[in-house]
Structure 1
Amino acid sequence: MSDAGVRVAAVDCGTNSIRLLIADLVDGQLHEVDRRMTIVRLGQGVDATGAFAPEALDRVFAAAEDFASVIRSNSVSRIRFVATSAARDVSNRDAFFAGIEERLGVRPEIISGDDEAELSFRGATTALDVPAPYLVTDIGGGSTELVLGDANGVIAAQSLDLGSVRLTERHVTTDPIAPAELAAITKDIDALLDATTVPLSEARALIAVAGTATTVAAVALKLPEYDRTAVHHARLTTDQLRETTTWLTTSTHAARAAVHSIHPGRIDVIGAGALILQRLTDRLPVTTLTISEQDILDGTALTLHSPR
């Protein structure tokens, strides 16, 4: 690392997973040191109860303790912890704040949907050559971010209350998903996409980031194990996406569990997440989509170029 660089850590806590990126930030560029993810399902039951479940907090605190150890061993100078959809409206988020601050020494920031969209856009579009304007989508457990932009930045953005965990908990009770349940999920997705303020028809390329999209890509590419290098900047045709989504939404839990490229923590929710991606892609004037492993986590790390 050059004298001008600084070692930073970004933590992104979403509805389904918590992720850590440690990187050297030099001249506005990230040089990755460590990247890891743990499924914590922080949003368990939040859609119904409006509060974090005690066992969900236990899982996220255990992951934070592991991350704290990694951060200490890598001599990180600056840390930023952002929390997204699940943490915005819960009644007991002070317990979440206190537990994270105790373990990591930094207070979580509950970022708005607009901030989440902008950070995802910044991370996803670094060193990526696609036609503009491009739409970046981040499909999470509790929300989906849509960001239209170009080389000059964001043109329009919106956070939708659509997510793989949210829709699965709301509608799915059978294995495999029953046709009526699938229809209900589709209805929810289409209603919010119909009402979006982001002009989807203007997009000339789609960049999909985060765990839903990367998992769908790994399945579509028929990878024997999850391979980040194979997934990053992979391009899927709309036919590949449709075929993969059909399988993910009609297969049994056991069949999905047998696919080693699907993380165990995503097996029960990936069908709803894939359907969000497909219904969105169907509305765009594109025949392919680009998958990026760089997302809100990278965007958050890039904000640490100066002391906060």
Structure 2
Amino acid sequence: MKIAAIDLGTNTFHLIIAEQNGTELEIIYKTNQPVKLGEDITKDNLIIPAAFERGINCLKQFKEELDQHHIVNLKATATSAVRSAINGQDFVTAAKAEAGIEIDIIDGDEEAQLIYEGVKLSGAITGKSLIMDIGGGSTEFILCDEENLIWKKSYNIGAARLMQGFFKSDPINEIDQQKIQQHVANELKALKVICEEYKPETLIGSAGAFETFAQMLLPELDIKTISTAEISFAAYQNLATKLISSSHQERAKMDNLIPLRVDMIVMATLLTNYVLNEFNINNIKLSTYDLKMGVLQSLRD
């Protein structure tokens, strides 16, 4: 039986189709589009008309692909951009009317749960770990080990939100960096308390920016075929310094850095640096499995 998941992220819409064979899931189709639904969303808390139209057009294309695969069992989930926008429900209504796709707007708690389920499938969790999923609108943190989800929380500190609020210089200057660090520290007080208690040893980055880090550091890595990979702490630190100190033009020329992330990768890097430094973590892993895999897992018989 074929099952499918659509993840309507703040920056990117993802479609993944899998064949369920017993207990195994075989991915048979995967695509994404940089819709930028959250473009300028922090100004009036609205999905702007151009982004609204891009989103609906993308879903129409996804529907054509779903129909070609004869998909009946589908779950489409919308996260930060849609749930926080004043016209988020209008987008859901338009998606049903124009693209024939029903969307569930999930809250941050369910989003974090699905991310955990996806990352767990990857095999990346070994020992006390902190999962971090940097989205455009929100960032989810999950404290866990191989057996248990210990704690989870979603914060409105996604890369696009941070960029719209704080990215005022290029290369980003010390003052803007300090403003971001202070904002993040104020937001993550509860995370600091739980990490001081449980002391996670590994940071697991769920897809997104961490796939970019991994591909920039390990160009030979085939992201499409792996579920998890180690990221050298020292190599990451060197890359982080390079990304933060570079201009937009310089980053645009870097290998394996897609246009959508040329600026947002700076926000993701500053956020990752804060977590690594504040919680004394020096082991980093990538999980290519994220919310989408968690959604597929929830659809299995």
- Shorter-chain TM range is over 0.9
Contact 1:25 1:302 in 2 (8 A): no
What is the CA deviation profile of residues 87-124 of structure 1, one whole-angstrom value per residue up to 9, with x for unaligned ones?
Answer: 11211112211222134433211111111111001101
Structure 1 match to 2:15: 20
Q: Does residue 184 in structure 1 map to residue 179 in structure 2?
A: yes
What is the letter of the counterpart of residue 41 of structure 1?
K
- Quote the offset at 1:230 in angstroms: 7.7
Q: Does residue 212 in structure 1 map to residue 209 in structure 2?
A: yes
Q: Does residue 148 in structure 1 map to residue 115 in structure 2?
A: no
Q: Distance in 2 between matches of 1:187 and 1:129?
A: 30
- Quote the offset at 1:77 in angstroms: 2.4
Contact 1:156 1:198 in 2 (8 A): no
How many residues align? The count is 299
Q: Does residue 76 in structure 1 map to residue 66 in structure 2?
A: no
Query: 1:244 is matched with which residue: 216, 239, 242?
Result: 239
More off after superposition, 9-18 vs 282-291? 282-291
Q: TM-score, normalised by structure 1?
A: 0.90
Contact 1:138 1:208 in 2 (8 A): yes
Q: Does residue 259 in structure 1 map to residue 254 in structure 2?
A: yes
- Quote the offset at 1:187 in angstroms: 1.5
What is the letter of the counterpart of residue 252 of structure 2?
A
Q: Residue 84 of structure 2: SS of its match in structure 1? A: coil
Identity of aligned residues (%): 27
Query: 1:46 is matched with which residue: 36, 41, 54?
Result: 41
Q: Distance in 1 between matches of 2:124 and 2:263?
A: 34
Q: Residue 37 of structure 2: SS of its match in structure 1? A: coil
More off after superposition, 102-111 vs 192-201? 192-201
What is the letter of the counterpart of residue 114 of structure 1?
D
Q: Distance in 2 between matches of 1:23 and 1:171?
A: 39
Q: Residue 31 of structure 1: SS of its match in structure 2? A: strand
What is the letter of the counterpart of residue 216 of structure 1?
F
Question: Runs (4+) of structure 1 moved beyond 6 Å?
Answer: none
Q: Distance in 1 between matches of 2:166 and 2:142?
A: 27
Q: Residue 196 of structure 1: SS of its match in structure 2? A: helix
- Quote the offset at 1:229 in angstroms: 4.5
Contact 1:12 1:81 in 2 (8 A): yes
Q: Distance in 2 between matches of 1:198 and 1:97?
A: 37
Q: Distance in 1 between matches of 2:24 and 2:72?
A: 16
Q: Distance in 2 between matches of 1:37 and 1:240?
A: 28
